[in-house]
Each structure stands twice: as C-alpha cells, then as structure tokens.
C-alpha cells in the first residue's frame, strides 16, 4: 500500500500523466488536495510493509556513493529493450537538442557521453551522425545492452568504465560533450563540471542537464525518500510490476532510492560556469514531461509547483580556456 500510494502521488506531479490522460492547467490545487493525505497514508504503511522482507532482499548501502548509485541505475536500466535503447532514445535526443545545434556540434564530431548510464543517448548521438562517441559510466553492466547493440549495428560507439571525476581522456580530446542528468547524483557538481570542461577542446560545445530547486515537486521527492529507506527496492520493483508499470518508466525507483540528489539554483550554476570560464546559453526542454517547458508555457502555478524546474544549457569553451577548476 505504501508503494502504491507513493506511485499514485508522484505520477501526477509532472506536467502530464499520459496513463491517465491528465494535463495540468493548474497543478497546485491538485497537489494541495492530495500530497499530505497520500504521504501520511504511505508513511503509516511503510513500517508494516512486509513480514517477509528478508526473502526479497534488503537495500544494500555498504559500498561507496558512486558504486551504490551505479548499482541502482544499472538494475533499473537492465530492463530496457532495443526499442527503448535505440528507437525511443532518438526521439528523446531530438527533444533535448535543437536540430540545427546537432548539425553544427554533433555531426562528424568526436563526442563524449559522460555518465552514459544505459547508453541510450550514446546510441542516439551516433545515429544522429557523430563521427565517434565515447560513452563513460561507473559500472559496465549499466551499458552492457547498448554496447551489444552498437557492436551488432556497427555504430561508432566505444563504451568505457570510468569515474566522471577522473575521466581517462586527454585535455581537449572531444568536440562535443553530453552530460544529461548525471552530476546532481555525484558528490560534487563543481568537480564534475571541471572535468567536463577539461576534456572539451577549446571552441568545443557541450550539453548539460541538472535539477533545479524550489517548488512542491522537488520538496515532495525529498519527502518520499525516508519512506523508501524502510522498503527494499526489490519489493518496490515487484509491486510496480504487479500493477503493470512499463519497464521503461523507471522515474519512481530513480526518485525514491538514489542516495544523492543535489538541487542547484540558476544563480549557483551560473557562478560555477563563470568560474570555469565557459559561455552558456539556457534552452528549454521540448518533451511534454519537462518541467522547464511547463514553466515556459506559463502554466498556472508553475513556479509554486516546479520551482526553477530543470537546468538545460548549451556550453561553449572559449579558445582561451585550457585548464579549469579545482
């Protein structure tokens, strides 16, 4: 019941919920009516989640932050099939990057996908015309399926197991660096940005996506995590499977179990980018789920609901920038 209540709460916090054909034109009254009621119910049920939890396994937190995070996502991504990794990823990339930008910055370029996770964007970047893509993640099992697809299809993608804080690349090795939803799950956004800029050639471009701050949406995410500290992830995945949730819809376990989620204001992010000497341009997500898109469209109560939303930026490393950061 705790899992079902939290699922019912969280799925309606996005601008749209396609599985219920809901598009919010004023999300705040809905949130006010349901969040407290559902959270109280979920919290009450969580302590009695199962007398048999040992048979489902306990949440494992004994490793490093990097290993725990990588293990979580590797488990979730293991269920993605070729349709999600190869076909749907192309549509996701098109919603992230303007077509004219892809033509100028990606086609024929040496590309790095930092924190590639499942590898789906690495495949999409190769399919978009990149000359070569080097995709990096902490655990190879995260991108194992995408690696097989790349090898079987002859796509110019090489997968590497490495730490985003210590990339095994030379300074200025890449023309374009893609970093989507990664650094806010690490110990230091600043260190990650410094490494991103280091491997980017002078004059090169990058795409960066980070979580914003403020609003009911982000506060509710934080409120849900203490509940799931008492529920084994294996139990949660089993319940979500029973209610028929599609495997590619992993936003729930992503939200509920990730050990670190740092929220950054635009002012804080701009200060870090300024310190690194890069030029930046904010862009707006074009997916129906993107919070910044809903804010840009002027949805009523968007600021209260989603705060600053999400940060999506195109970066340029000026020719004069050679070494950066701490």
Task: Count CB atoms within 10 A of the CB of residue 274.
Answer: 11
Backbone φ and ψ of 315, nearest 5°: -110, 150
pLDDT score for 295: 92
Mapping DSSP onto H, E and C, the string for the chain reads CHHHHHHHHHCCCCCEECCCCEECCCHHHHHHHHHHHHHHHHHHHHCCCCCCHHHHCCCCCCCCHHHHHHHHHHHHHCCCCHHHHHHHHHHHHHHHCCHHHHHHHCECCEEEEECCCCCHHHHHHHHCCECEEEEEECCHHHCHHHHHHHHHHCCCEEEEECCCCCCCCCCCCEEEEEEECCHHHCCCHHHHHHHHHHHEEEEEEEEEEEECCCCHHHHHHHHHHHHHCCCCHHHHHHHHHHCCCCCCCCHHHHHHHCCCCCCCCHHHHHHHHHHHCCEEEECCCCCCCCHHHHHHCCCCCHHHHHCCCEEEEEEECCCCCCCCCC
pLDDT score for 235: 87
Domain architecture of the chain: domains with CATH: 2-49+215-257 (no CATH), 77-213+263-316 (3.40.50.150)
Q: Return the C-alpha torsion angle 227, 233, 251, 63, nearest 10.
A: 100
Query: CB-based burial of residue 82 (10 Å sphere; 0-12 exposed, 13-18 middle, 19+ buried)?
Result: middle
Mean pLDDT of 66-78: 72
pLDDT score for 325: 47
Least confident of 135-139, 151-155, 241-245: 241-245
pLDDT score for 77: 60
Confidence of residue 63 (pLDDT cuts 50, 70, 90): low
Is there a contact between 157 and 126 (Cβ–Cβ < 8 Å)?
yes
Confidence of residue 159 (pLDDT cuts 50, 70, 90): very high
Sequence-distant (≥ 6) Cβ neighbours of residue 130 within 8 angstroms: 106, 107, 108, 109, 110, 111, 156, 176
Confidence of residue 71 (pLDDT cuts 50, 70, 90): confident
pLDDT above 70 (res 167): yes
Average pLDDT, the chain: 87
Least confident of 219-228, 279-288, 313-322: 313-322
Mean pLDDT of 140-147: 90
pLDDT score for 61: 45
156: region left, alpha or beta (phi > 0 left; psi from -120 to 50 alpha): beta
Confidence of residue 55 (pLDDT cuts 50, 70, 90): very low
What are the distances in angstroms from CA 284 to CA 23, 208, 293?
A: 19, 12, 6
Measured in Å, how far apart are the chain's first and last C-alpha atoms? 47
């Amino acid at each position: 019941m705790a899992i079902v209540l939290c699922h019912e709460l969280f799925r309606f916090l996005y601008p749209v919920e396609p599985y219920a054909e809901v598009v919010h034109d004023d999300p705040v009254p809905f949130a006010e009516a349901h969040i407290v009621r559902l959270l109280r119910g979920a919290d009450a049920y969580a302590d009695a989640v199962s007398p048999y939890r040992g048979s489902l396994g306990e949440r494992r937190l004994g490793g490093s932050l990097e290993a725990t995070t990588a293990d979580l996502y590797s488990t979730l991504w293991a269920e993605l099939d070729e349709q999600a990794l190869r076909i749907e990823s192309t549509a996701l990339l098109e919603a992230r990057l303007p077509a004219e930008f892809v033509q100028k910055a990606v086609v024929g370029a040496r590309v790095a996908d930092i924190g590639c996770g499942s590898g789906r964007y690495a495949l999409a970047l190769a399919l978009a015309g990149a000359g070569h893509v080097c995709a990096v993640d902490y655990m190879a099992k995260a991108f194992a399926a995408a690696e097989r697809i790349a090898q079987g299809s002859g796509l110019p993608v090489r997968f590497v197991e490495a730490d985003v804080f210590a990339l095994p690349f030379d300074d200025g090795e890449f023309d374009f660096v893609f970093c989507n939803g990664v650094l806010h799950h690490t110990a230091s956004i600043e260190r990650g940005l410094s490494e991103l800029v280091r491997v980017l050639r002078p004059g090169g471009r990058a795409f960066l996506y980070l979580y914003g701050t403020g609003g009911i949406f982000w506060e509710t995410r934080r409120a849900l995590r203490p509940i799931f500290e008492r529920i084994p992830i294996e139990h949660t995945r089993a319940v979500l499977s029973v209610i028929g949730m599609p495997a590619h819809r992993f936003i729930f376990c992503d939200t509920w179990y990730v050990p670190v989620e740092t929220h950054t204001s635009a002012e804080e992010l701009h200060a870090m980018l300024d310190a690194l000497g890069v030029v930046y341009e904010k862009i707006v997500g074009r997916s129906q789920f993107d919070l910044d898109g809903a804010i840009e469209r002027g949805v009523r109560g968007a600021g209260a609901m989603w705060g600053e939303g999400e940060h999506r930026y195109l970066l340029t490393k000026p020719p004069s920038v050679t070494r950066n950061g701490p």
